[in-house]
Chains A and B, each alone.
Chain A
């Protein structure tokens, strides 16, 4: 760290002393000052988690701004979003940022998760970090699913109807779950109510807790070292300090992400290609469904896989079979740190990764 004697740092160091006298932060600051980050061929993956965090912050900020004008309810949701996009100053920008950041956040969460997976960073002692990460992904997908319905347009309505309809396939409790999920038999204004509550209150609370836990774990344990370093002498391992070296790099990456986000929001406010979210027409429960009903891209792999299952597998209904498979798959995925005894690349486990990629691509091609 550089020691400068000009007045700016003088003010900073006076402030630091003030805080330290009250909260004894010097021990913590000292600890943080010793934090290091491994430097190696795959160091670049270390940024992915941070980008996801940055995008989440963007979501919170733009989400709070949107809250000022959005009105949940079948009679007002669509109109209020239209109002935001057409009449509120920079409303189009805030909404576009929110939509883009949502999609990119999920993308980077997946990337982060897969890189952690392939580098086996989940191994001991980071099992709980992995678990909390999987939890964060699930909550993130929940954010995506609940937020998608809120504009109450044709696109969202039918995608939500299909998505929540799958819950009904669960035996015994399925019907009750469906009614709870939808707030009724069908997707209505009541559904907007509960999805809105989920999206702005319940999920943020849960996410904050889970995120804090995840970050505390990461801070406490530091970055995972690559497998190849096991057994290497200390002299051959390179590290860089977190403060300020890695932090500056992280900030730079965040700046680039911010710029990319701004570019996408201004040039493609309604999305691009198959990833499209134009406001379109208001949801009409009595209108026939459009020819193409599409979930968001991050659900496409599940949607496509379920479509490809036959009506019945043995004695089990096809949809239910698919749900069971995915649940088991998800559980295995979550428990991977406890299942992967040997910390070596296991050929079988690439199945998950390629399955998701293949189903997503198929979903868009066959549409």
Chain B
């Protein structure tokens, strides 16, 4: 029995040591994964960097692209003068998504023919309120969209 004692003790020590290491691992692993940043890097609060460039917008037949902004949809267009304009894409009538109509020079809602000018003002049809305007900043190739008043 005296023979077994040292080996049982060291077995216990090994098991204990292994267990401690494993426990430490199950603490350190999540912490390490936590501090590794996720793809979006930071909370997109009231400013968003668009996942495409000006060239992509210009390549679109209607020279417009939609994007997710917080919980809602936004639309960014290139006006005839080459200016970037971004607005909320949610129609103020019944929440359909508006689109850019270059032939009419307006933002148009297909659901009930609601029309907005390029500054978001509701000019014809059912929409009761204008579209919210966003602020656009171009830094090099990147486009940043943010809420007004920020």
Check if A and B associate: yes
Interface set of A (CB-CB < 8 Å, partner B): 61, 65, 68-69, 71, 75-76, 79-80, 82-83, 87-91, 93-94, 255
B5 to chain A, nearest CB (A): 12
Other than the known A75-B45, A88-B37, what 15 A-B pairs have Cβ atoms closer than 8 Å? A65-B34, A69-B43, A71-B45, A79-B43, A79-B44, A79-B45, A80-B43, A82-B43, A83-B40, A83-B43, A88-B38, A90-B33, A91-B34, A93-B30, A94-B30
Chain B residues positioned under 8 Å from A88 (CB to CB)? 34, 37-38
CA distance A94 to B30 in the complex (A): 9
CA distance A93 to B31 in the complex (A): 10
Question: Which among A75, A83, A87, A89 is the interface contact of B33 at CB below 8 angstroms?
Answer: A89
B34–A94 CB distance below 8 A: yes
Chain A residues positioned under 8 Å from B31 (CB to CB)? 61, 65, 90, 94
B144 to chain A, nearest CB (A): 15
Chain B residues positioned under 8 Å from A68 (CB to CB)? 34-35
Contact status of A83 and B35, CB under 8 A, knowing A75-B150, A93-B30, A94-B30: no
Contact status of A76 and B33, CB under 8 A, knowing A87-B40, A88-B38, A89-B38: no
- Any chain A CB within 8 A of the CB of B3? no
- Any chain A CB within 8 A of the CB of B46? yes
Chain A residues positioned under 8 Å from B37 (CB to CB)? 88
- For chain B residues 19-37, which have a beta carbon within 8 Å of chain A? 23, 30-31, 33-37
Total contacts A-B at CB 8 Å? 47
CA distance A89 to B35 in the complex (A): 8
A282 to chain B, nearest CB (A): 11
B35 to chain A, nearest CB (A): 6
- Any chain A CB within 8 A of the CB of B80? no
CA distance A61 to B45 in the complex (A): 26
Chain B residues positioned under 8 Å from A82 (CB to CB)? 43
- Any chain A CB within 8 A of the CB of B103? no
Chain A residues positioned under 8 Å from B34 (CB to CB)? 65, 68, 88-91, 93-94
Q: In this complex, what residue of B is CB-closest to A80?
A: B43
Chain A residues positioned under 8 Å from B33 (CB to CB)? 89-90
B23, B30, B45 — which one has the most chain A CB atoms within 10 A of its CB?
Answer: B45
A243 to chain B, nearest CB (A): 17
Chain B residues positioned under 8 Å from A65 (CB to CB)? 31, 34-35
